[in-house]
Amino acid sequence: MPAVLALTLLGAFLRFWRIAHQGFWFDEGNTVLLVHFTPGKMLGLIPQSESTPPLYYCVAWAWARIFGYGETGLRSLSALAGVAMIPVVYGAGAKLVSRRAGVCAAAFAACSPLLIWYSQEARSYQLLALLSAVSLLAFAHARARPTPGALAAWVIACALALATHYYAVLAVVPEAIWLLAVHRRRRPVQFAFAVVGLCGLGLIPLAISQHGTGRSNWIAHAPFWRRLGQVIPQFAVGFGGPAHSVLEPVTIGILILALVLLAIRSDPRTRQGGLVAGGLALAGFVLSLILVAAGFDDVLTRNLLAIWTPAALLIAGGLAAPRARMVGLIAAGALCGIGVTTSVGVALERDLQRPDWRVVASALGPHAPAGGRAILVQHYRDLLPLSLYLPGLRFWPGHGAIPIRELDVVSFTAPPSAGFCWWGSACNLWPSRMQSSYPVAGLHPVWRRRALQFTILRLEAPRPVRLTPGAVARVLHTTSFRNDELLIQRR
């Protein structure tokens, strides 16, 4: 269909344009490290270092060896998944609601700031969104006619989605229950239900093990109602962009209009299909709340991407209703226009992007001077992702004296987002105050410069100075720093 092809090309442009403009941030750094290992070692490390199943990393491991480990090579896997999702969303909409609604939903997928963001991230979220959309497409066919082929496609899609991210259950469980309720007397449906159930049960030991590491505990410690309130606005218009404070309420108004049009201006088939899609999205959302009550509070917008497609079909059903006419068409166009404007704005505005440690590494220079370098990163306690760009970087050993000729102090100075934030330029960073100098004997400031969201101060010594933990502790105490990390790089 020409319209779907055009939308797919538009989606491809928006996802691959400036895909390498931002350096890897912390979460992506974990992916980069994992795919450098042998398959056996990578699979052994995933239960300790990640909170998701291994399928994405297995695919990324092979992908990196073909297309490279850089930003373009590794992120292109997610970008391709994002492009492939557009015709899949159309197919699901055309089968479940109407062809017109399918085109409308495909346009939303092509222009979605949220999907474009995760299509440019070397993580599993966009693959989760794609496979969940495929499972919905297969569900739509199996619901209408549960042939062996449709059921097999649904089982495979569900199994792959679950092996990508545990929150695929938000899509899989409602679909499975719905199919069983509609076709409960059919043996093939019962068998498909059982196979998907076994796939989910098989992942439970790994899920419990990863949950026990506490790697995702930071989510539950963040305000629940704030996280919950972010879901619909971020589904609709992403994390931020030009005139976000104006465009977000306009977008929410369009969503409300779509629901009204579905109720009063749609024909019975469109209304029924839209309500089925909306019912699946609502059931997945309720299931996420049940998981919270059971002690698994990982509610974040990105973890709910499994229900993005049915939610989009609900809105598309209203705006594409036969009797919505120009009102629906104009509203759908406005929604897509807001999405493109937001995505382009994010691509052009550094303060809306991920923290770029690559420019920090470039400002510092790749090689330590003879005698060694120490790097003090304020309010940050990880090697990643700076170590990806500075070979040989390691933690301060914590004992004894180490000779250095250079001390670089790095502070994050971009304005942080208000309150809890897990995306954008303030992602997992806290602002800190750079001093004019630091009282380390023998070291003197030589330059100070901005590097996008960061400020760097360099101190040098004419000859190696032995830096001790006591000297570092005194510096930290006198400047009132907390949770800083000292890193060492040797030539």
The pair of three-digit structure tokens given for residue 96, joined into one six-digit string: 């479940």
State the DSSP code for 352. Answer: G
Q: How far is CA 308 from CA 80, 241, 281, 340, in A?
A: 18, 20, 8, 18
Contacts of 174 (CB under 8 A, 6+ apart): 279, 280, 283, 284, 287
**Whole-number percent of the chain with pLDDT over 70:** 95
Mean pLDDT of 425-451: 83
Closest CA to 126 of 379, 302, 248: 302
**Encoded tokens for 407:** 């001390």
Q: What is the pLDDT of residue 90?
A: 98
Query: Exposed, middle or buried by CB within 10 Å (0-12, 13-18, 19+), for 212?
Result: exposed
Provide the pLDDT for residue 312: 98
Residue 270 · residue 95 · CB < 8 Å: no
What are the distances in angstroms from CA 332 to CA 80, 92, 95, 110, 454?
25, 18, 20, 13, 39
Residue 157's CB: how many other CB atoms inside 10 A?
26
In this predicted structure, which of 151-165, 274-288, 372-386 has the lowest mean pLDDT?
372-386
Q: Is 243 left (phi over 0), alpha (psi -120 to 50) or beta?
A: left
Q: Which two tokens stand for residue 138?
A: 């297969």
CA atoms within 13 A on the CB side of 312: 40
- Integer-rounded Cα radius of gyration of the chain: 25
Percentage of the chain modeled with pLDDT above 90: 72
Helix axes 55-67, 125-144, angle to 10 degrees: 120
Residues 6+ apart with CB under 8 A from 475: 376, 438, 439, 440, 481
| Residues 10-37, mean pLDDT to the nearest whole number | 96
Mean pLDDT of 273-280: 97
Tokens of 483: 């949770």
pTM of the model: 0.95
Taking residue 296's Cβ as centre, other Cβ atoms within 10 Å add up to 18
**Please, which residues have CB within 8 angstroms of residue 248's CB and are 6 or more apart in sequence?**
233, 236, 237
* pLDDT given at position 483: 58
Q: How many CA atoms lie within 13 A of 478 on its CB side?
A: 11
| Residue 481 clears pLDDT 60, i.e. is over it | no
When pLDDT is cut at 50, 70 and 90, the band that residue 212 belongs to is: confident
Q: What is the pLDDT of residue 379?
A: 83
The whole-number average pLDDT for the span 271-284 is 97
The reported pLDDT for the residue numbered 231 is: 96
Q: Give the Cβ contact number of residue 421 at 10 Å.
A: 16
Between CA 477 and CA 146 the distance in angstroms is 68
Q: Report the Cα 17 to chain-centroid distance in Å.
A: 18
pLDDT digits (tens, 9 = 90+) for 42-64: 999 999 999 999 999 999 999 99
Checking if the pLDDT of 248 tops 60, the result is: yes
Tokens, residue 127? 């693959």
Choose among 281, 282, 280, 274: nearest CA to 319.
274
What's the whole-number average pLDDT of the chain? 91
pLDDT at 417 over 70: no
Per DSSP, 223 falls in state -
Pairing verdict, β 402-412 and 373-377: parallel
CA 331 → CA 234, 252, 319, distances in Å? 18, 11, 7
Res 480 pLDDT > 60: no
Q: Indicate if the pLDDT at residue 7 is higher than 50.
A: yes
Confidence of residue 343 (pLDDT cuts 50, 70, 90): very high
Q: Over the stretch 190-202, which tens digit does the pLDDT of each residue have? A: 999 999 999 999 9
The predicted-structure confidence for 106-131, as pLDDT tens digits, reads as follows 999 999 999 999 999 999 999 999 99
- Give pLDDT, residue 412: 87
**Which amino acid type is present at position 473?**
A
Residues paired with 403 in a beta bridge: 466
H/E stretch holding 462: strand 454-467
pLDDT digits (tens, 9 = 90+) for 218-244: 898 889 999 999 999 999 999 989 999
